[in-house]
Structure 1
Amino acid sequence: MAELMIRKMEISDINDVMEVEKKSFSSPWTEEIFNQELVENKHAHYFVMLIEKKVIGYVGLWAILDDAQITNIAILPELRGNKFGEKLFRFTIQQVLRMGANRLSLEVRASNTVAQHLYRKFGLVPGGIRKNYYRDNNEDAIVMWVNLS
């Protein structure tokens, strides 16, 4: 059985994370953004999921006081449907709780019902809409959140 591991993202992971990012999003972040998040943002926490030392997914979050927000989460498209996203999300909630956050939020495309279903499994509920949030097609984002305390 292949070894599955989740650990803190390092600068050396950015190239592999970019592969996941470009395959997952129509408006991917740049290497510079990831570098800035890892080096300069004291509120940012990023983790990579690996199988046999290959990055297959990642998650980023910001934790400020008792609030946490997932900035992005992705699994390689060819590996979706194998519960990796669920495992990564469960790990993320554990990290958020360890950091002392009481609330967790994220934005998700209105059309991404698969992701919304996953987030609902963990108790997140829609809390609002950000109109025309995604620049590539002006799609709305649904803000989802959960009270962890």
Structure 2
Amino acid sequence: MNSDFKICPMDKSSIKSILNISELSFPISWSLESLESELDNKFAKYVVLKKGDSIVGYGGMWLIIDESHITNVAIHPDARGHGGGDLIVEALFRICRKQKVTAITLEVRSSNFLAINLYEKHGFEKVSVRPHYYEDNGEDAVIMWNRNL
């Protein structure tokens, strides 16, 4: 794992970099407006992954009472394969523990084996499938939970 990485809170100056990473990472990216609105969402917690001064990844979640829902985790294609996803998930877990969150969930494309492996490595378990969840191609979403934070 590269020690040049650091985790920082998302702020307004991060949005354009996050949008770029989102567009490179997801078939259906969040819009600029959606990302900006997360800054004002009192339930949202987002972190960015920096290498030097450049944002190379991000992750976010919504905290609702004692549970959390991961909304996005993405790494710029040029920065993948160096443990950045682990750092982001671990940072989200730290926030959850600080907020007394006891369980965390997410949906992931059934074909996204790299993400599924990342989440399983961090204690997530496949719980169910949401059929035809993704609008772009009708792909199923795998619902995963980690109830051991």
TM class, shorter-length: over 0.9
Task: State whether residues 5 and 84 of structure 2, in contact with CA within 8 Å, keep that contact through their aligned partners in structure 1.
Answer: no
List aligned pairs for 1:94-113, cutoff 5 A: 94-113=94-113
- What residue in structure 1 maps to residue 21 of structure 2? 20
Q: What are structure 2's unaligned runs of at least 5 residues?
A: none
The aligned amino acid for 1:22 is E
Task: State whether residues 101 and 148 of structure 1, in contact with CA within 8 Å, keep that contact through their aligned partners in structure 2.
Answer: no
Task: State whether residues 49 and 55 of structure 1, in contact with CA within 8 Å, keep that contact through their aligned partners in structure 2.
Answer: yes
- What residue in structure 2 maps to residue 32 of structure 1? 33
Q: Distance in 1 between matches of 2:42 and 2:148?
A: 22
- What residue in structure 2 maps to residue 145 of structure 1? 145
Task: State whether residues 58 and 73 of structure 1, in contact with CA within 8 Å, keep that contact through their aligned partners in structure 2.
Answer: yes
Give the drift of 1:89. Answer: 1.1
- What residue in structure 2 maps to residue 58 of structure 1? 58
Q: What are structure 1's unaligned runs of at least 5 residues?
A: none
Q: Distance in 1 between matches of 2:73 and 2:13?
A: 18
Partner SS state of residue 135, structure 2: coil
TM-score, normalised by the number of residues in structure 2: 0.95
Q: Distance in 2 between matches of 1:81 and 1:52?
A: 17
- What residue in structure 2 maps to residue 42 of structure 1? 42
3-12 vs 48-57, which moves further: 3-12
Task: State whether residues 59 and 73 of structure 2, in contact with CA within 8 Å, keep that contact through their aligned partners in structure 1.
Answer: yes
Task: State whether residues 7 and 87 of structure 2, in contact with CA within 8 Å, keep that contact through their aligned partners in structure 1.
Answer: no
TM-score, normalised by the number of residues in structure 1: 0.95
- What residue in structure 2 maps to residue 129 of structure 1? 129
**Structure 1 segments (4+ residues) deviating >4 Å:** none
Report the count of equivalent residues: 148
- What residue in structure 2 maps to residue 83 of structure 1? 83
Give the drift of 1:2. Answer: 6.6
